[in-house]
Amino acid sequence: MTRFVFVTGGVVSSLGKGIAAASLGALLQARGYKVRLRKLDPYLNVDPGTMSPYQHGEVYVTDDGAETDLDLGHYERFTGVHATKADNWTTGRIYSDVIAAERRGHYLGGTVQVIPHITDKIKEVIQAETEGYDFVIVEVGGTVGDIESLPFLEAIRQLANELGPTRSLFVHLTLVPYIPSAGELKTKPTQHSVKELLGVGIQPQILLCRCDRPIPENERRKIALFCNVRPESVIPAYDASSIYAVPISYHEEGLDREVLRHFGLSIYGEPEMGRWQRIVDRIRAPEGEVTIAVVGKYTNLLDAYKSLAEALTHGGIAHNVKVRLDWVDSQIFEDDEAAVARLEKVNGILVPGGFGERGTEGKIEAVRFARERRVPFFGICFGMQMAVIEAARNQAGLKGASSTEFGPCAEPVVGLLTEWTRGNLVERRAADGDLGGTMRLGAFPARLAEESLVREVYDGAAEIHERHRHRYEVNVNYKDRLEEVGLRFSGMSPDGALPEIVERPDHPWFIGVQFHPELKSKPFDPHPLFRGFIGAAVRQARLV
């Protein structure tokens, strides 16, 4: 029997619903249950693929090619369960499907309305592909009281009534702020937030109260009394030094026990939390430190690189070192030639993905610095393309080398991809077609060259599968000329048409990849490339 846990948020945004949902999934998983997590987003975009990182943060890509909310990255990192297209639905996607069905005559001439047609669709996608799971945890995006969230709240209210209390549970995350001038924690915002939920017919059974200090017993009883829940169901959600300490904190406060109690399941025994504690211990007491310069264009909003930052942390965990990230706006290298000195003391340089021409010359300069100074270098997606352009310009003598993404150029070392294969199918895109969902998305195979660094990094694997999100590719016609100057193409698509990985055999550690390895890294299983990159940085720092 599948049970559904609905996680909502109130008072303000960014309280940590995604981490709360992921932590609960991890706790239930540690008790031996099979879990799945999914996210309902209230915005009208079909998916976040066309949204600016400054608007939405990172776009997380699944194996099956869905562009999704960054919270799905937390779900995968905490539980190891691979997300799919079925696990992230937006208002735009819901409405698109309903409107398309109406155009096909699916509703037999009936008037299509929010209730029941939109809410029925929401209930349908919540329950889709859930057979065999003990728990499905559904996070509802946005803040209770926002008009955008109302169809989702109505849908989960209806679904809970249909499932009954033995198969449904509402968890509400709120804020309990501390007012320094009064010297008190204030419960009124939580009371009002629950009142908003009650106004749409939802009574939460568990409250997660975000706070920066312990909530006194009398305040917890007050919250329980006014919000109509058991005092034991008022769970403090403390600020944590690391997101990987959150599952431990929630367990200590009794979250998993309250969930099991609600469903009438056994709460005897303790979940296996040893691996979480080992991760936290390594983060809190590292044996050394390395500094990695991340040279990008969205460094003012670090959510744009959420999975990247976590994957670098995982690499540090693998070597028991702290990874200090120096976020460098690539444009500074274009405006100030002396700015390159900022890279003098770092132990590794990473150039991440991105779109558009702004900041590209600075990224190329960062690549050149890493190559000439023999600093460990890691280029991801756009970063790999910049590494190829740098080699073409500064080593192969192709001064006009560039990407057609920025306009016509003399040497199109990087060009628009309009056709590729996925399994036995050929996918095609037009240069003037829609932007949304038209990139090479999802997991694709790559074959690794023998006696290459990258094959060693992947523990001898001859073929790998990694997740992509890009529209432009390195032009394979330049492969021979670039290999003549020392840039080895060590990973290729199975048909040999698409370069996937480049490296420099004459460099301590220099790898560029066309895919996004950060999307598959987990604290218990750091991605091989991040483990290898941080290992090279450790050697660079002479900590080993």
Q: Is the pLDDT of residue 423 over 70?
A: no
The tokens describing 384, both together, are 């790999």
User: Minimal CA–CA distance to 188: which of 218, 212, 219, 213?
Assistant: 219
Q: Is the pLDDT of residue 327 over 50?
A: yes
Q: Is the pLDDT of residue 337 over 50?
A: yes
Instruction: Return the minimum-mean-pLDDT range out of 309-318, 394-403, 434-443, 529-538.
Output: 434-443
Per-residue pLDDT, 49: 80
Question: What backbone torsions phi and psi does residue 60 show, to the nearest 5 degrees?
Answer: -95, 130
Q: Are 314 and 521 in contact (CB under 8 A)?
A: yes
Out of 56, 67, 518, 527, pick the active-site residue: 518
Summarize pLDDT for 98-128 with one digit per residue, the tens.
Answer: 999 999 999 888 899 999 999 999 999 999 9
The tokens describing 194, both together, are 């629950």
How many whole angstroms from its chain centre is CA 521?
10
Mean pLDDT of 433-459: 87
* Catalytic residue flag (residue 503): no
Mean pLDDT of 459-463: 96
Per-residue pLDDT, 419: 60
Q: Is the pLDDT of residue 291 over 60?
A: yes
Per-residue pLDDT, 544: 44
Let me know how many helices (H) and strands (E) the chain has, helices first: 18, 25
Question: What span, in angstroms and rounded, lies between the C-alpha atoms of 528 and 220?
Answer: 45
* Catalytic residue flag (residue 518): yes
Structure-model confidence comparison of residues 139 and 471, the more confident one: 139
* Catalytic residue flag (residue 56): no
**Location of structure tokens 């419960």:** 187
Instruction: Return the minimum-mean-pLDDT range out of 382-396, 402-416, 483-497.
Output: 402-416
- Average pLDDT over the chain reads 91
Percent of the chain predicted with pLDDT > 90:
78
Out of 56, 172, 516, 527, pick the active-site residue: 516
Structure-model confidence comparison of residues 499 and 272, the more confident one: 499
Mean pLDDT of 448-463: 96
Q: Is the pLDDT of residue 350 over 60?
A: yes
Give the number of other CB atoms < 10 A from CB of residue 370.
28
The model's pTM is: 0.92
**Location of structure tokens 């998916």:** 47
How many whole angstroms from its chain centre is CA 386?
23
The tokens describing 423, both together, are 């399994």
Residue type present at position 150: L
The answer to whether the bond into 116 is cis (omega within 30° of 0) is: yes
Give the three-class secondary structure for 444.
strand
Give the number of other CB atoms < 10 A from CB of residue 174.
29
Three-state DSSP string of 16-42: CHHHHHHHHHHHHHHCCCCEEEEEEEC
User: Minimal CA–CA distance to 64: which of 85, 95, 36?
Assistant: 85
Question: What span, in angstroms and rounded, lies between the C-alpha atoms of 61 and 240?
Answer: 27
Instruction: Return the minimum-mean-pLDDT range out of 52-66, 115-129, 381-395, 419-433.
Output: 419-433
Out of 227, 381, 468, 500, pick the active-site residue: 381
Per-residue pLDDT, 57: 80
Summarize pLDDT for 182-196 with one digit per residue, the tens.
Answer: 888 999 999 999 999
Can you list the domains of the chain with their CATH numbers?
A: 3-279 (3.40.50.300), 288-540 (3.40.50.880)
- Which of 272-281, 331-340, 354-363, 427-436 is modeled with the greatest confidence? 272-281
Mean pLDDT of 437-442: 80
